[in-house]
Structure 1
Amino acid sequence: MTSENTVRPGVRRPRADRARQVADVLRRQVLAGVFTGGALPHEERLAEEFGESRNTVREALDLLRTEGLVRRVPGSGTLVLADKVPHGLNRLQGLAETLHEHGEVVNEVRSLGPVRAPGPVARRLGLPEGADVVYVERLRRLNGLPLSLDLTYLVPDLGAGLDAADLAHTDVFRLIEEAAGQPLGSAEITLEAVSADAHSASVLEVPRGAALLMLERLTTLADGRPVDLEYVRFRGDRLTMQGRLLRDIP
C-alpha cells in the first residue's frame, strides 16, 4: 500500500513546496560561497538546472530575499547579500577561537558580578541550593557587528577573578582553564530557535520577534566538574552552525 505522504510519479506538488526545495539547495550554495562574483545564475539557467518553471525559481529567490540572503538588482540579476560565518560544532572552543579566520571578536561586558544562582542553575553546576555564582552578560561583536548575546553562569571559585581579566579580547574558556589549572573536557549543548525579546532585540540590533539561534551549553573540566552554564543568542542572519556527525554502530 502506498503511503499518502509518498510522492508518486505524475502527482504534481504545490509550487510553494517545490520553491521551498529549490530555496533550500540555493541557500546552502549562497552560504558556501559557490556563486563566483556574488551573483546567482539567471532565473532561466536555474529553472533548467532544477527542472522547474521560472515562476517556481522566482518564488524560491523571493524566500531567500525575505531571509536577507540575496537582493534583486535591476540590470544585474540576483546578488548575494548576506555574509554568514560558520560556527563549528565539532570542537569545544570559545567564539574567538572558532571564528578567528573571519575577523576580530570583541566582547562588550554589560554585566559582571556575583548573583544568587537560580535553583536549576545551581543544580546543573553541582552547587548547593542558594549558592552564589558569577554572572557575566556580554555582547559579542565580529568585525564591529553584533553577533551574539551571551548570558553566562560560572562557579564562584573560577569566576572570581574575571573582573581583573581582559574580557574584551579573551574568551572565558581560556580564563577558566588558566584559573582551574586544567583544560576543559566536554560540553552538553542544545540548539534551538527563539524569538528576540525586547532586550535581546535592542542589544543585537534586530526587530523584536526576529528569529535567533540559541545555544545552551553546560561545560565541564577534564575531570568532569561542571563549571560554566551559558545561554547564547546568535543572530541567525550572520551565523550558520556546521558540524560533522559520525554514526556509532554497535
Structure 2
Amino acid sequence: MTSDNPALPGARRLRADRARQVADVLRRQVLGGAYTAGPLPHEDVLAEEFGASRNTVREALDLLRGEGLVRRVPGSGTIVVADKVPHGLNRLQGLAETLHEHGEVVNEVRALGPVRAPGPVARRLGLPDGSEVVYVERLRRLNGLPLSLDLTYLAPDIGAGLDAADLAHTDVFRLIEEAAGQPLGGADITLEAVSADAHSATVLEVPRGAALLMLERLTTLADGRPVDLEYVRFRGDRITMQGRLLRDTP
C-alpha cells in the first residue's frame, strides 16, 4: 500500500489519495449494509485494517460525511445515516420491478400527450422526421421520497392508450407489452453523470448543480422494433447501479 507518512515528499497529496482509497472501500461496505447494526469501527481499528494512519482514516470518513452517508454522533461514534437502493443492470425491468424489495414506487405524472418528435428522437424510434410521438414525464418516488425524473418518448401506436392507464402505479414497460401484444426484447443504455438543472433540482428536491445519474435507454420489442426512448435522471445520493459483466472468450 502507498505510505502516507508525512515525512515523505508530497505526503499531503499522498494522504489525500489514500483517503479516497479508504473511502471507496468503506463506501461499498456502508452501502452493502455492513454497519446497519451499529456504528463503524473506531478510527484506530480502521487504520489497522487499511494499513493507513488515523489521520487518513479521519479524512476518508469526512468524505463519506460530505456525501451524507454517515455522521459522527458524540458518545456513539460514526453511524450510517443514509442508504442507496441498488438498481440492477443485468435485466430489462421497470423501476417498480427492479426495486420491489425496497418499497413502493409511485409515479407522479407531470406531462402526458402527443408532441412533435425532435428529429433525433424520431430517427432513434425509426419514424419519419416530423412524426408525432407520445411524451410522458414522471416524477418517481420510492417510499414517498423523490428518486428519479423520467422523460419518455413512445411510438404513437404504443402510447395512444396511456391516458386511460394507471400510470401512477404501473410501469410503462408492462403497458408497452400489453399495447404491442409481444414482450420487450432488449435495450441500449448509456449511463453518465450530469448536474441538476433548475427544473430537475426543484422536482427532485436537490440543490441546483447536484450530481445526478442520467440513464438514456432505447428499448425495443422482441421483433427488434424501437418503441421507447427514455431519459431518466436519478438522484445520485439515493441509488447505485449494479451488474455483473462476463468477458467473452475470443
TM-score normalised to the size of structure 2? 0.95
Instruction: Name the CA distance, whole Å, in 1 between partners of 2:36 and 2:124.
Output: 47
Question: How big is the shift at 1:37?
Answer: 1.5
Instruction: Name the CA distance, whole Å, in 2 between partners of 1:123 and 1:42.
Output: 56
Instruction: Name the CA distance, whole Å, in 2 between partners of 1:224 and 1:187.
Output: 10
1:196-215 to 2 correspondences below 5 Å: 196-215=196-215
Match of 1:59 in 2: 59
Opposite residue 122 of structure 2, the aligned amino acid is: A
Instruction: Name the CA distance, whole Å, in 1 between partners of 2:54 and 2:32.
Output: 24
Opposite residue 55 of structure 1, the aligned amino acid is: N
Q: 1:155 to 1:38 in 2, by over 3 A?
A: farther
SS at match of 2:245: coil
Instruction: Name the CA distance, whole Å, in 2 between partners of 1:206 and 1:249.
Output: 44
Q: Which runs of 4+ in 1 moved over 4 A?
A: 10-13
- Native 8 Å contact 2:36 2:80 kept in 1: no
Match of 1:4 in 2: none
- Native 8 Å contact 2:87 2:242 kept in 1: yes
> Is 2:114 the counterpart of 1:141?
no
Instruction: Name the CA distance, whole Å, in 2 between partners of 1:164 and 1:26.
Output: 47
> Is 2:186 the counterpart of 1:186?
yes
Instruction: Name the CA distance, whole Å, in 2 between partners of 1:47 and 1:231.
Output: 42
% identity of equivalent residues:
88
Question: How big is the shift at 1:82?
Answer: 1.0
What runs of 5+ residues in structure 2 fail to find an aligned partner?
none
Instruction: Name the CA distance, whole Å, in 2 between partners of 1:237 and 1:62.
Output: 16
Opposite residue 62 of structure 2, the aligned amino acid is: D
Opposite residue 107 of structure 1, the aligned amino acid is: N
1:23-46, Cα deviation, whole Å (9 max, x unpaired): 000000000001242411010100
Instruction: Name the CA distance, whole Å, in 1 between partners of 2:199 and 2:42.
Output: 41
SS at match of 1:41: coil
1:38-77 to 2 correspondences below 5 Å: 38-77=38-77
Instruction: Name the CA distance, whole Å, in 2 between partners of 1:59 and 1:41.
Output: 15
Match of 1:78 in 2: 78
What runs of 5+ residues in structure 1 fail to find an aligned partner?
1-6
Match of 2:155 in 1: 155
Q: 1:147 to 1:36 in 2, by over 3 A?
A: closer
Instruction: Name the CA distance, whole Å, in 2 between partners of 1:69 and 1:226.
Output: 39
Instruction: Name the CA distance, whole Å, in 1 between partners of 2:63 and 2:36.
Output: 21
Opposite residue 109 of structure 2, the aligned amino acid is: V
Match of 2:217 in 1: 217
1:204-240, Cα deviation, whole Å (9 max, x unpaired): 0000000000000000000000000000000011100
Match of 1:126 in 2: 126
Question: How big is the shift at 1:135?
Answer: 0.2
1:26-37 to 2 correspondences below 5 Å: 26-37=26-37
Match of 2:16 in 1: 16
SS at match of 2:213: strand
Q: CA RMSD in A?
A: 1.3
